[in-house]
């Protein structure tokens, strides 16, 4: 498993983890899904990189903002807790979302993402670690059918946002796996 080190990293501007995951992708088809897409920074990046992107969120305003920016992304308004995948994907992304889920729901959802990843596909997950979120060992168990490409825990610095109106740090686990 990856090492623990500290970097400065802005959650609102940087896409380094997603960029890295895209660089690691060598599949021939490019069907991607961004689960819990927020305002679409990563979905937009995937679309700019030639992926056919579906972006899913339960917050309608986020999807409207994406729709106002591009017609290249298919938006889906849904709660991921009971989300039913309609097909398999080459690139599955879930960043800074799973800490909202109750541990068992997070584990079920990770298994669902693994199940719907195509051969040579990439699954990229970033998990904000909280006392209630699933553990790294649990996440690694749930992705055991994939080959781990990268698994790193980092402290990232976040700017003030609603709910935490001051600069603060997060302990985040970044996972990238592939189906060989």
The contact set with ligand SAM (CB under 6 A) reads 36-38, 41-42, 57-59, 62, 79-81, 95-97, 100
Q: How far is the CB of 114 from ligand SAM (least distance, A)?
A: 18
Six token digits for residue 4: 């623990």
Q: How far is the CB of 44 from ligand SAM (least distance, A)?
A: 10
Of 107 and 120, CB closest to ligand SAM = 107
Of 131 and 163, CB closest to ligand SAM = 163
**In 49-175, where does DSSP find H-type helix?**
60-69, 103-115, 136-142
DSSP state of 135: P
Strands 52-57, 31-35: pairing is parallel
- Distance between CA atoms of 156 and 134, rounded to whole angstroms? 18
Of 120 and 153, CB closest to ligand SAM = 153
Of 42 and 54, CB closest to ligand SAM = 42
Q: How far is the CB of 71 from ligand SAM (least distance, A)?
A: 20
User: With helix as H, strand as E and coil as C, how does 116-127 read?
Assistant: CEEEEEEEEEEE
- Distance between CA atoms of 9 and 153, rounded to whole angstroms? 13
Q: How far is the CB of 180 from ligand SAM (least distance, A)?
A: 26
């Amino acid at each position: 498993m990856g090492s623990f080190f500290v970097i400065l990293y802005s959650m609102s501007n940087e896409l380094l983890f997603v960029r890295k995951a895209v660089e690691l992708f060598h599949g021939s088809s490019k069907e991607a899904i961004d689960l819990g897409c927020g305002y679409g920074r990563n979905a937009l990046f995937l679309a700019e990189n030639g992926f056919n992107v579906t972006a899913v969120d339960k917050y309608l305003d986020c999807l409207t903002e994406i729709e106002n920016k591009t017609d290249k992304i298919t938006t889906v308004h849904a709660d991921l807790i009971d989300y039913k995948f309609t097909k398999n994907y080459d690139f599955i992304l879930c960043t800074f979302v799973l800490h909202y889920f109750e541990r068992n729901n997070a584990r079920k959802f990770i298994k669902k993402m693994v199940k719907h990843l195509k051969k040579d596909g990439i699954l990229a997950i970033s998990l904000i670690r909280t006392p209630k979120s699933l553990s790294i060992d649990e996440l690694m168990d749930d992705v055991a059918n994939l080959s781990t490409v990268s698994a790193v825990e980092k402290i990232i610095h976040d700017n003030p946002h609603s709910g935490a109106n001051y600069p603060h740090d997060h302990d985040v686990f970044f996972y990238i796996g592939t189906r060989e």
